[in-house]
Amino acid sequence: MARVALVTGGMGGLGEAISIKLLALGYKVVTTYSPNNTKYQAWLDQMKEAGHTFAAYPCDVSDYDSAQACVAAIEKDIGPVDVLVNNAGITRDMTFKKMDKVNWDAVMKTNLDSVFNMTKPVTDGMIERGWGRIINISSVNGQKGAFGQTNYSAAKAGVHGFTKALALEVARKGVTVNTISPGYIGTKMVTEIPQEVLDTKIIPQIPMGRLGKPDEVAGLVAYLASDEAAFVTGANIAINGGQHMS
Ligand code: NDP
């Protein structure tokens, strides 16, 4: 039977590529969208026309109750979640001098609390069934810090701390927990950065001299989700064109 893969933030640049990749590999793919997102139906229709049929559920990943209700509905309608990709995330960049509590909290809740909120309702089932994959999308900026991103860097570093601790707890249960830390990938989150900043500040930091492609991250997710990756757990896999090596 096809495994169920839940990808949060499926309508985003990376989420879409990950969802398409997992679908092509035979998973039943379920995506989530923010409850206030009015474009999801058009996106689902567009995906369907292109041959990609996903289920999609509203979910505010930053809200514990919304996440529990979303996973309960998915498990009732579609089946137990075998692969969870915690991909949804936001940035609210500003120097620490300007950083206020609202923008700190928004980033911590959406990028870090969300990982707890979504992982909590799927883990017991994975353990009972003796198989599961939790894949957390962090960032190079969680590994090395970034100017103007005290909130984002802290949240993304926290994601990997979570990964390592949970990986230890479930290591003997057939469940792996891993982090992927992408560098700059050509999605809306990055292409919204002014071209001049990309050309003069960001791309010159990348030894490969280009942005990453969403498909390249999707390929890594597919590997971590596979049976072949059964011995990989607690890892933080960088995919950044050589920008940061640790
Ligand atoms: P996008 O902005 O394209 O997509 C982000 C997705 O997150 C959207 O689908 C959005 O859903 C969803 N989302 C945001 N807030 C919530 C919420 N409260 N509840 C539910 N869903 C939410 O970003 P990317 O695809 O570029 O990024 C995906 C992940 O990869 C993020 O975690 C990001 O931090 C990380 N990353 C990205 C990099 C890059 O270079 N692009 C580099 C390193 C890490 P909706 O549209 O419905 O609101």
Query: What CATH number corresponds to the domain at position 217?
Result: 3.40.50.720
Query: Is residue 187 situated within a structural domain?
Result: yes
Distance CA 129, CA 168 (A): 18
User: Ligand 1 centre from 156 Cα, in Å?
Assistant: 12
Query: Is residue 30 situated within a structural domain?
Result: yes
Query: Is residue 245 situated within a structural domain?
Result: no
pLDDT digits (tens, 9 = 90+) for 159-202: 999 999 999 999 999 999 999 999 999 998 888 889 999 999 99
> Does 184 participate in catalysis according to the annotation?
no
Q: What is the pTM of this model?
A: 0.98
The domain total for the chain is 1
Query: Is residue 135 situated within a structural domain?
Result: yes
Give the ipTM of the model, two decimals please: 0.99
pLDDT > 90: percent of the chain:
97
Could you tell me if residue 145 is left (phi over 0), alpha (psi between -120 and 50 degrees) or otherwise beta?
left
User: Ligand 1 centre from 19 Cα, in Å?
Assistant: 13
Note the pLDDT of residue 246.
80
Query: Is residue 131 situated within a structural domain?
Result: yes
Note the pLDDT of residue 189.
82
Distance CA 155, CA 145 (A): 11
pLDDT digits (tens, 9 = 90+) for 81-134: 999 999 999 999 999 999 999 999 999 999 999 999 999 999 999 999 999 999
Distance CA 135, CA 86 (A): 6
Tally DSSP H helices, then E strands, for the chain: 10, 7
Query: Is residue 246 situated within a structural domain?
Result: no
User: Ligand 1 centre from 152 Cα, in Å?
Assistant: 12
Query: Is residue 37 situated within a structural domain?
Result: yes
Show the domain range for 68: 4-237
* Residue identifier of the C-alpha nearest atom 36 of ligand 1: 139
Distance CA 82, CA 134 (A): 8
pLDDT digits (tens, 9 = 90+) for 17-66: 999 999 999 999 999 999 999 999 999 999 999 999 999 999 999 999 99
Site residues for ligand 1, CB cut-off 6 Å: 8-9, 11-15, 32-34, 37, 59-62, 87-90, 110, 137, 139, 182, 184-185, 187-190
Query: Is residue 109 situated within a structural domain?
Result: yes
